[in-house]
Amino acid sequence: MMKNNEIKNDEIGSIGIGAMIVFIALILVAAVASAVIIQTGEKLQQNAQQTGSETQQEISGKISVSSVFVWDDADSYLVYFETAPGSEILDETTVRYQMTCETTGGAYQYVPGDFTAATEFDGGALTNNLEPGVSYSLVMAAAPGDDCSATSVGINSKVTLWIHVENGGSTFETLSVTDTTRGAQVI
pLDDT tens per residue across all 187 residues of the chain: 556 555 566 566 667 788 889 999 999 999 999 999 999 999 999 999 888 877 776 667 889 999 999 998 889 999 999 998 878 888 889 999 999 999 988 899 999 999 988 888 776 666 678 888 889 999 999 887 778 999 999 999 999 999 999 888 889 999 999 999 999 999 8
Pairing of strands 63-72, 76-83: antiparallel
DSSP 121: T
Edge-first strand listing for the sheet containing 136-141: 63-72, 76-83, 136-141, 119-120
Partners of 157 in the β-ladder: 177
Query: Using an 8 Å Cβ cutoff, are 130 and 115 in contact?
Result: yes
Backbone angles phi, psi at 157, to 5 degrees: -125, 175
How confident is the model at residue 175, as a pLDDT?
A: 95
